[in-house]
Amino acid sequence: MKPYALAAALMIPQAVLAHPGDHGSASPVHLLSQADHLATLAMIIALGMAAWLFLRGRP
């Protein structure tokens, strides 16, 4: 398994640790200051990067 795929797989359980509450009116500061939101954001970025690295050499 590639290192970036392993890192993404290790971050997946962090997504379930989100704190309860309505985030519909939350500010970006809140979303960037909470560890559970940062873990989810990092997971999304890692998966996007993994997909890009996997697909960039394909015709």
Q: What percent of the chain has pLDDT over 90?
A: 0
Q: Is 6 domain-assigned?
A: no
Structure tokens at 49: 């990067």
Q: Is residue 4 part of a domain?
A: no
User: What's the pTM value of the predicted model, to 2 decimals?
Assistant: 0.56
The more confidently predicted of residues 57 and 18 is: 57
**Position 19 in a domain:** no
47 domain residue, yes or no: yes
Query: Between these two residues, 52 and 2, which has the higher pLDDT value?
Result: 52
Q: What are the tens digits of pLDDT across the range 27-44?
A: 888 878 887 788 778 888
**What does the alpha-carbon distance between residue 31 and residue 15 come to, in Å, rounded to a whole number?**
13
List Cα–Cα distances, 21 to 12, 18, 26, 51, 57, in angstroms: 20, 9, 10, 31, 42
35 vs 39: CA distance, rounded Å: 6
Domain span at 45: 25-55
Based on the structure, what is the number of domains in the chain? 1
Residue 49 in this model has a pLDDT that exceeds 80: yes
